[in-house]
Amino acid sequence: MGHLGNELGAIFARGFEAAGLDPRLGDVRRSDKPDMADFQCNGALAGAKAAKRNPREIATQIAEAVTGQGPIASVEIAGPGFLNIRVTDDALARTAAAIRTDTNMAGASKVADPQTLILDFGGANVAKPMHVGHLRTAVIGDTLQRVLRFLGDQVTSDIHMGDWGLQMGHLITELEDEQPGLPYFDAAKTGPFPRQSPVTIDDLSRLYPQASAKAKDDPERNKRSQQAVAEMQAGRAGYRALLQHFVDVSIKALKIDYGFLGVSFDLWLGEKDAEPFIPDMVADIKARGLAKEDDGAWIIPVEREGDTKDYPPFMLLNSRGASMYHTSDLATILDRVQTYSPDRMLYVVDQRQALHFEQVFRAAEIVGYISEDRLEHLGFGTVNGTDGKPFKTRAGGTLKLGDLTNMALDEANKKIEEGGRLSADIGPDERARIGQLVARAALRFADLQNTRTTNYVFDLDRFTSFEGKTGPYLLYQAVRIKSLLRKAADEGNVAGDIRIESDAERALVLTLDGFSLALQQTRDKRMPHILCEHVYNLAQSFAAFYGAHKIASEDDADLRASRIALCQAVANQLNIGLDLIGIEAPERM
């Protein structure tokens, strides 16, 4: 809970304990009916059942014991024994004042159990442009790493790129067809090779689909790419040098797309970085009798007695003796355990990959690297079109992420111009920056406000609106507060002691007090939409407060100073909350 909820919970716990009941019955939460109470406690009903007593009798006893303690203004009994709690105006004023001056946490608290975590998200493929599906893993993963770090966890994030599969063979062979004289194709040459890449990202975007299309119609062409992959994985120097060029060029392009979304990673590793661990890992697993041969392949059975669905075996090596996605994922776990000794590893990957991760996690426990319960697959739903199917272009293809961000930028600028939202003195550079921030806010909040595991419909017109539950609406409120506080400072109005005298002020401070709980639940459930809901509710509560009261123009000097201070508390928490969901508000619009 927030500070008020924790304080109330402690008081009610003592009340139940004094009545000879379990102190855990004193759990307090925000009221389901805020027009009737600020908080509620339902413990009297469970206590009555355990003690075989009348619940209203217990509720009366508890109410008499706690009324007047700490922040409690009144306790009323409703229904069969619900305890409705109203807190004092002074308690709310103290809460708001504490949030205003808490510039680091804005009323939140560090967790009592910080953990060392590996956060695996992104999953972009070398040489393949990111598509709309990569939006979700990017913004969900980035938001989680921001929240987890903010609360005190030690987080190492890794993009874990796809850079070891057949697409590398396609690129190598197609490039050889176009430029056979390059030194990389001389099998006898071991280096050194040119430092300058022979390809650009545009070349890679062209070469891969060309080769892929040819391979679909020509089995021999596909075998040639498979052979190139095998030689690359076996260590052929020229192919390894090309692979590094492919990776470097791809990362440079990926950083542009991720940068637009405000997404960052600590590690830019890929499947190839697990390769050095694979030979010894496979030999060890075989030597310990944990894998068995099956039609030339080596597998680890992962089925358990009592399973309610079929679990195909974990594929350690295929019948050609080559490593698979399973193998590189297991080797990556081994590397992470040895390098970081993490408490947990979190994988933000499409829900449709659930079976794959169940197999990998079970195998990791079987071979003794890490227990399965310390590995979490944080699956997410799909981004759909209005037809309810995964979002496509008008031509029916997969929409590139770069095209999506450009669409969002165009629509954001359109909404800004249509609304006449920018001051006349804002120049072209600042105008462009504001457009980018609005587009980022639109995309990130549109995705994050949804429960992670559900699908959602992509509607760019709605997402970029400055009205409703959108990222641009949040920016509008944040900029409004900044403007209000600048104007107050310019006019010589300063903050003072906070006084709570209206329902709008009470509602605003109670919303502020919920920040800590929202963050804790976001961490515990790995669900960013909980934090998004809090930030949106805070923006709405501020809008209601702003609409109900004069602030800088208030005639009463003490009341004016109080409301300016309350605005500062909101600005502090709103800016931190927006940053945690990856949204940056401009200074003005």
Question: What would the pLDDT profile of 359-369 be if each residue is shown by its tens digit?
Answer: 999 999 999 99
Q: 506, 505, 481, 484: which is closest to 493 by C-alpha?
A: 484
Q: Please report whether residue 115 resides in a domain.
A: no
Q: Please report whether residue 130 resides in a domain.
A: no
Q: Interior CA angle at 388 toward 387 and 392, to 5°?
A: 70
Sign for the pseudo-dihedral over CA of 17, 19, 24, 30: negative
Q: What is the pLDDT confidence band of residue 397, given thresholds at 50, 70 and 90?
A: confident
pLDDT of 369 = 98
pLDDT of 324 = 87
Q: What percentage of the chain has pLDDT greater than the value 90?
A: 93
Q: Please report whether residue 497 resides in a domain.
A: yes
Which tokens is 560 given?
């004016």
Residue 201 sits in the same domain as residue 75: no
Q: Please report whether residue 158 resides in a domain.
A: no
Residue 34 sits in the same domain as residue 179: no
Residue 459 sits in the same domain as residue 558: yes
Average pLDDT over residues 526-549: 98
Residue 436 sits in the same domain as residue 562: yes
Of the given ranges (238-242, 423-427, 482-486), which has the lowest mean pLDDT? 423-427
CATH code where residue 18 lies: 3.30.1360.70
Contact 15, 26 (CB under 8 A): yes
The answer to whether residue 322 scores a pLDDT higher than 90 is no
Q: Please report whether residue 342 resides in a domain.
A: no
With residue 531 as reference, give the H or E element that holds it.
Answer: helix 528-548
Q: Domain boundary residue among 235, 269, 303?
A: 269
Cα–Cα distances in angstroms (integers) from residue 381 to residues 268, 400, 551, in the given order: 25, 18, 43
Q: What is the pLDDT confidence band of residue 386, given thresholds at 50, 70 and 90?
A: confident
Dihedral (C-alpha) 523, 525, 530, 532: value to the nearest 10 degrees?
Answer: 60
What's the pLDDT tens digit per position in 125-160? Answer: 998 889 888 999 999 999 999 999 999 999 999 999
Contact 114, 90 (CB under 8 A): no
Q: 85, 96, 108: which is closest to 36 by C-alpha?
A: 85
CB-facing half-sphere around the CA of 29: CA atoms within 13 A: 10
Residue 438 sits in the same domain as residue 576: yes
User: Per this entry, what is the length of the chain?
Assistant: 589
Q: What is the pLDDT confidence band of residue 339, given thresholds at 50, 70 and 90?
A: very high
CB-facing half-sphere around the CA of 207: CA atoms within 13 A: 24
Q: 402, 460, 492, 421: which is closest to 128 by C-alpha?
A: 402
Give the Cα separation of 426 and 329 in Å (integer). 50
pLDDT of 420 = 87
Residue 424 sits in the same domain as residue 534: yes
Give the structural domain span for 40: 3-87
Phi, psi of 194, deg, nearest 5: -55, 140
pLDDT of 404 = 94
Residue 70 sits in the same domain as residue 202: no
Contact 555, 236 (CB under 8 A): no
Q: Interior CA angle at 300 toward 298 and 301, to 5°?
A: 125
pLDDT of 395 = 74
What's the pLDDT tens digit per position in 289-312? Answer: 999 999 999 999 999 999 999 999
Give the Cα separation of 571 and 508 in Å (integer). 12
Q: Domain boundary residue among 87, 112, 131?
A: 87
Q: Which residues contact 588 (CB under 8 A, 6 or more apart)?
A: 423, 426, 479, 482, 483
Give the Cα separation of 547 and 528 in Å (integer). 29
Give the Cα separation of 116 and 163 in Å (integer). 27
CATH code where residue 491 lies: 1.10.730.10
Q: Is the peptide bond before 129 cis (omega within 30 degrees of 0)?
A: no
Contact 96, 566 (CB under 8 A): yes
What's the pLDDT tens digit per position in 417-456? Answer: 998 889 999 999 999 999 999 999 999 999 999 999 999 9
341 or 323: which carries more pLDDT confidence?
A: 341
Q: Which residues contact 369 (CB under 8 A, 6 or more apart)?
A: 330, 333, 334, 337
Mean pLDDT estimate for the chain: 96
Q: Please report whether residue 144 resides in a domain.
A: no
pLDDT of 365 = 98
Residue 200 sits in the same domain as residue 60: no
Residue 80 sits in the same domain as residue 181: no
Residue 573 sits in the same domain as residue 432: yes
Q: Please report whether residue 303 resides in a domain.
A: no
Which tokens is 505 given?
């002020």
For residue 259, the cross-strand partners are none
Look at the chain and report how many structural domains it folds into: 3
Q: What percentage of the chain has pLDDT greater than the value 70?
A: 100
Alpha helix positions (H), 151-236: 166-178, 201-217, 219-234
Q: Please report whether residue 481 resides in a domain.
A: yes
The answer to whether residue 87 scores a pLDDT higher than 90 is yes
Q: Domain boundary residue among 239, 269, 299?
A: 269
Helix, strand, coil content of the chain in percent (nearest 5): 55, 10, 35
Give the Cα separation of 232 and 212 in Å (integer). 18
Which tokens is 273 given?
């970085």
